[in-house]
Amino acid sequence: MSVGIDAASPVESGTARIQWAARGMPVLRSISERLAASGTLAGLRVGVGLVLEPKTANLALALRDAGAEVSVYCPGRSTDQATADALRRAGLQVFAEGDADDARDLELAREYLGTSPQIILDDGASIIRLAHREFPEVVDGLLGAAEETTSGVRPLHAMHGDGALRVPVISVNDAKSKYLFDNVYGTGQSCVMTLLDVTNLQLAGRVVVVVGYGWVGKGVAKHAAAFGARVLVTELDPIKALQAVHDGHRVLSLAEAAPEAEVVFAATGIAGAVTFAHVERMPDDVILATAGGGDFELPMSELGALGTAATVRPGVTAYTMPSGRSVLVISEGDCLNCTDGEGNPIEVMDLSLSLQALAAEQIAVEARDWPPGIYPISAELEAAVAITRLQHEGASLEPLTPQLEAAMRSW
């Protein structure tokens, strides 16, 4: 007799959710089967340092099935405990505890690096940077790494510019089949949906300020508008700001937008994007959230220093300002879809996590001869991901005939 998921133990529940996610990840499954047959990753130590939930668990299991020795790390705030427990039962080394504080997270990260991974798949470049600061011997043994996010690629470019980066890193984040889908459709949808779930409020008629109109900001604005929000955009880049205007949004500086803001999504990946001075100009009960980045985008230290924090609902903390107004912060300023949601949709993450698997393959095959730097994922591999997903959706491409090829090359 089968046991319903509600009656299952946490490990059984985690396993069931991992299996559910696997149903919607045909691209990752096909890559895992090919890697297992080729033996490319056999015996290599691969560290997965991504948000730990059922979809990323499937990446870890796919790499294991391809013959790699897999270890997993994730900060507590982004760890789904049932998923972590299920991976432990499956025999993986897991350095993640759902209730870990910052000190414990750092301890676990150090233990994770103690496994001496040869390939690191990172999120936010936190593990790559920790390895460079504290584990030079681990860096010496690294074939390379891959980075998932905008907020991680930026400091890696800075490290490389300063001559501090000692390994080649593939920027999965810069792949078109990542940012055009994961960031726009995935993060946009999941962040807006998580806000709705956590607050039980509606966006229709509310003024939503999207700080930053990169790929994540575009996605958040698109999905907020679909729920009836009136979207304002703040942006440093004039081209991106003009795109926002052409997408039908008002564009203002954050200081100008603040008095109208009812909901604010920080979507820049840049520390200090929203300042305490901005928040002081916002209305009573304004809602602050971070989409895709971390709490560094919001003035969390200044808010915390007020000494007025009060949990008013799971995932919602109210801070009383000196003026008496209330500021409502979702997920303590952390990326809300990872902390209080289930992350991006399964089909979208099938693309991004498949790219991570392919990045591991590319590092294993090619990176031994690469100097330190930031590298793109192979265009051929990226196209293969898109084609596999298209085939699963029953789509087909227009054939490139000799006549079309000649026309495209003519001048």
d(CA 143, CA 150): 22
- Asked if residue 338 has pLDDT above 90, the reply is no
**pLDDT tier for residue 7 given thresholds of 50, 70 and 90:** low
Helices (H), 200-335: 215-226, 238-246, 254-257, 276-280, 300-305
Contact of 51 with 77, CB cutoff 8 Å: no
Give one word for 144, left, alpha or beta, with left for phi > 0 and alpha for psi -120 to 50.
left
Distance between terminal CA atoms of the chain?
69
d(CA 158, CA 137): 22
Closest CA to 64 of 49, 46, 82: 46
Dihedral sign for Cα atoms in the order 197, 199, 201, 205: negative
- Summary mean pLDDT of the chain: 94
- Asked if residue 1 has pLDDT above 60, the reply is no
Paired tokens of 408: 């495209």
Q: What is the pTM of this model?
A: 0.84
**pLDDT tier for residue 378 given thresholds of 50, 70 and 90:** confident
Q: In this prediction, what percent of the chain has a pLDDT beyond 90?
A: 86
**pLDDT tier for residue 50 given thresholds of 50, 70 and 90:** very high
Q: At what angle do helices 26-38 and 346-366 cross, to 10 degrees?
A: 20
Pairing of strands 316-320, 69-73: unpaired
pLDDT score recorded for residue 80: 93
Paired tokens of 211: 């700080």
Paired tokens of 185: 């459709």
Q: At what angle do helices 54-65 and 81-89 cross, to 10 degrees?
A: 20
Q: Which residue is associated with the tokens 């996610």?
A: 21
Q: Which residue is associated with the tokens 């498949």?
A: 354
pLDDT score recorded for residue 2: 43
Domains and CATH numbers, the chain: 5-178+344-392 (3.40.50.1480), 183-339 (3.40.50.720)
Paired tokens of 124: 């936010």
Query: For the segment 273-294, what is each residue's pLDDT rounded down to a tens digit?
Result: 999 999 999 999 999 999 988 8
Query: For the segment 302-312, what is each residue's pLDDT rounded down to a tens digit?
Result: 999 999 999 99
Give CA torsion, residues 166, 71, 367, 359, to 10 deg. -120
**Can you tell me the mean pLDDT for 51-62?**
96
